[in-house]
A and B are shown apart, each in its own frame.
Chain A
Amino acid sequence: EDQVTQSPEALRLQEGESSSLNCSYTVSGLRGLFWYRQDPGKGPEFLFTLYSAGEEKEKERLKATLTKKESFLHITAPKPEDSATYLCAVQAMRDYKLSFGAGTTVTVRA
C-alpha cells in the first residue's frame, strides 16, 4: 500500500524566515508526486506535480524538489499569506487515485 509521511506536523515561522517541509513516500511505481495547499474549510489548491527524481519546480516563494524517496517544499522568505496546510500526495502507475500525507500546517507571523 502506498504510504506518504509529512514532517513536521506544524511549523511556525517569522515573516522572512525560510524553511523546508518534508514528504517521504513509498509507492510501487511512481507516476507523479503532487503538492497542494489547503486553507481551513476549503478545497486543496494545486501547486506542483513532480514526475522524476532530480526534478524541481518553482512558483513565487515556493520550490518543490523530488528524490527517489522524498520530496521537499522550500518556502523562501515567507509572508503571512503563505500560512496554510501543505499536502503531499503520490499517484502510482497502476491507477490515478491520490494517496495523501497528513499535511504540514505552516503559520507565518508578521
Chain B
Amino acid sequence: DSGVTQTPKHLITATGQRVTLRCSPRSGDLSVYWYQQSLDQGLQFLIQYYNGEERAKGNILERFSAQQFPDLHSELNLSSLELGDSALYFCASSPPSGGSTDTQYFGPGTRLTVL
C-alpha cells in the first residue's frame, strides 16, 4: 500500500458525460501528479500540482481539467467523454521538493470505461 488513495475504483459512463476522479496524496506530500494509462499509449503524464498550484502540464486535453484543494487532495475532471478516453487513470504523490529527485508513489488507479 503506497498511501495514495483514489476513488472510485471503477467508473462506467456514456459518451458526452462528465466525471470526476479523486485522489488523496500520502501524508506530508505536497505534489500530486495525474497519469493516463491506455493499451496503445502506455503511461502518459497529464498534469502536476504542487501545494495547490499547477506546476506542469503534459498532453492533457482541453476537455480535462484538474485542481488541488487546500487539504491537498486533488480532483481530475473529464468532460465531453469519448470512447478513446477509456483508460486507467493514476494519481501519484511525492514529498516536498528538496532539489533532488522526488520519488512518485502511485495510487491504485481509477478504471474509466466510456460506452
Q: Chain A residues in contact with chain B, CB under 8 A?
A: 31-32, 34, 36, 41-46, 49, 51, 87, 89, 91, 95-103
Contact = CB atoms under 8 A, between A and B. Distances in A.
Interface SS of B by simple majority: strand
B45 A43 contact: no
Contact of A97 (B4, B48, B100): B48
Contacts, number: 67
B42 A100 contact: yes
A42 B37 CA distance: 11
Q: How large is the interface on B (under 10, 10 to 19, 20 to 34, 35 or more residues)?
A: 20 to 34
B10 to A, nearest CB: 10
Interface stretch (B13-21, B64-72, B75-83, B102-110): B102-110
A43 B107 contact: yes
Given A87-B43, A103-B42, A98 B108 contact: no
